[in-house]
Chain A
């Protein structure tokens, strides 16, 4: 029995290696899929397109705008002059966020009054909007603290009280929270599933199609032996694909691979 299974395994291997289409099929689709998934799935928002409607046009408003344009999270696409322009840009998906600075910004700030800037977000993509809004408010908050400190300094009180609570974040397993590091381990599972599923699905039906199944039927091989002999080569090929995909993930996307890290 083992001998017959062994024969089938050898035959399948030879077939796989000698079939140029199959040879390509083993290597190419996993890598292409890994590359597309690795690059296409990216939730690390950078260079979010934004527009600014600056009605104040003072030194302070320009300072604030500079904080946005110098931040890597944002890309200042254009300066606008009217709400109409803003709607238009958002409708055409040109910008995700618009910042509206009111005309009396500096007047109110100098007078020590509270002033409000408007942040308008395209909420179509709720996830993007959420992250954008967070980036924007942290820039605005920093600026507010800066102004407050300026004011306190002017009054002769040093900044003893400003923002003592700091958040020290540590992200385990993926310190920089890179999307590809999160997704590629999942892609490995998906790629292997697709490849092994398709290869084994083809294995028997191909014999049927070419007509060689008939030859197998008259041979002494039993159905169980045939199935085992057909499956084992593809298990090995799939495992080779696993190694391949993990290698590409590690070398190309620098996804860490840490076996034996967990102690629990």
Chain B
């Protein structure tokens, strides 16, 4: 091991990146664009959902219920309609996401204490949103019922506690229920995967394809000096991108950061070594840059995007996909990142994730070291 030789490769690779504007732009744009798009677009929060109201009853009592919808911050009455066709039209043009229909005998039934049906029509093309809307409507209905009950019992002259059992849900770690507090820490793992694995996947195979590898073969440079020198610059780039992402999370998205800053830096650096190792392994096994690129997308980017839990909840996947998710390194960084960002977790809770990441790093580096043969092919 000769540090001077490693340093030489390191410098060469760095100059290489610096003088290649395309890859330089990539390095800066990837984190910024990914965070901007996903941070703003991936929101599961519902606010001011446009709904249509079809009131067949048109009485003070039906108005009173509609008023509750208008007052709720989850709904916004987009239009009062007078037929199902209108609802259908508004739904098809996606102007409304839901519609409520009050039957013509609404007031009579409510007054006589008989069950009355409030029809709720939701647009199921987004099942998740429809679920949330139904939940909000049900809670409005529940409150309405409770108030009716109060009035009714007071008529009887009874006055005992009306809600025998109440609950006050307490939301830990994300009091404001902001989707971006969930998305941004997860995205950091995806960004580091893309930058780390995609760039390194090309770094060795490029030399082979362009034929400059043969020149390196003729030098006294040793295998590990070559690998270390090659990975060094990408490590620095990966860390820079992580800081860009963190800064955007802090200042643009205002995601709370509750844990230890240094623990986060240390563990994400460890994760970066894992993805660099993955990229290196791809680079020494691929036969062309194109193949390396496709392999990198398929084996690093897609799993980290889909299966790491960064965006889609792992707990709701079928068992087989859950097992596969344990083989995706990004899963562990997502755990760590959310843990440190939102829960403020310490090393005590995270050591297992770190240990697994460490094993991944050793595995990928050792395997690519074995695969990389310093021979002219």
Contact = CB atoms under 8 A, between A and B. Distances in A.
A126 B127 contact: no
Contacts of B135: 130-131, 134
Interface string B292-309: 001000100010001100
Given A114-B166, A124-B182, A170 B120 contact: yes
A171 B167 contact: no
Nearest to A113: B161
Interface string B345-377: 100010000000000000000000000000000
Contacts of B262: none
Interface string A133-175: 1101110110110011001000101001111111111111111
Contacts of B149: 148, 161-163
Given A117-B167, A171-B130, A39 B342 contact: no
B169 A133 contact: yes
B325 to A, nearest CB: 9
Given A39-B318, A92-B349, A165 B165 contact: no
Given A36-B321, A137-B167, A172-B122, A42 B117 contact: no
Given A171-B127, A264-B93, 8 more contacts: A39-B317, A120-B170, A127-B44, A127-B128, A144-B165, A144-B166, A175-B124, A182-B128
- Sorting the interface of chain A by its residue count into under 10, 10 to 19, 20 to 34 or 35 or more gives 35 or more
B333 to A, nearest CB: 14
A126 B174 CA distance: 7
Contacts of A164: 109-110, 113-116, 145, 148
Given A127-B179, A161-B152, A167-B120, A49 B315 contact: yes
Contacts of B158: 155, 157
24 contacts: A36-B302, A40-B317, A42-B317, A43-B131, A119-B167, A120-B169, A120-B170, A121-B169, A125-B182, A129-B174, A137-B167, A144-B164, A148-B149, A148-B164, A161-B149, A164-B109, A164-B110, A164-B115, A164-B116, A165-B110, A171-B121, A173-B125, A175-B124, A198-B294
A43 B169 contact: no
Interface in B118-170: 118-128, 130-132, 134-135, 137-139, 141-142, 144-145, 148-149, 152-153, 156, 158, 160-170
A123 B317 contact: no
A141 B146 CA distance: 10
B251 interface: no
Given A134-B139, A165-B141, A147 B117 contact: no
Nearest to B128: A43
A169 B339 contact: no
The 5 A-B pairs with the shortest beta carbon distances in the complex, nearest first, are A174-B124, A123-B174, A177-B127, A161-B152, A127-B44
Q: Which of B142, B167, B175: most chain A Cβ within 10 A?
A: B167
Contact of A166 (B118, B160, B170): B118
The prevalent SS among residues of A at the interface is: mixed
Interface string A97-119: 00000000000010011111111
A115 B122 contact: no
A214 B14 CA distance: 36
B127 A174 contact: yes
B113 A167 contact: no
Nearest to A96: B315
Contact of A163 (B89, B145, B173, B338): B145
Nearest to A141: B142
A90 interface: yes
Contacts of A148: 149, 162, 164
Nearest to B294: A198
A129 B171 contact: yes
Contacts of A160: 113, 152
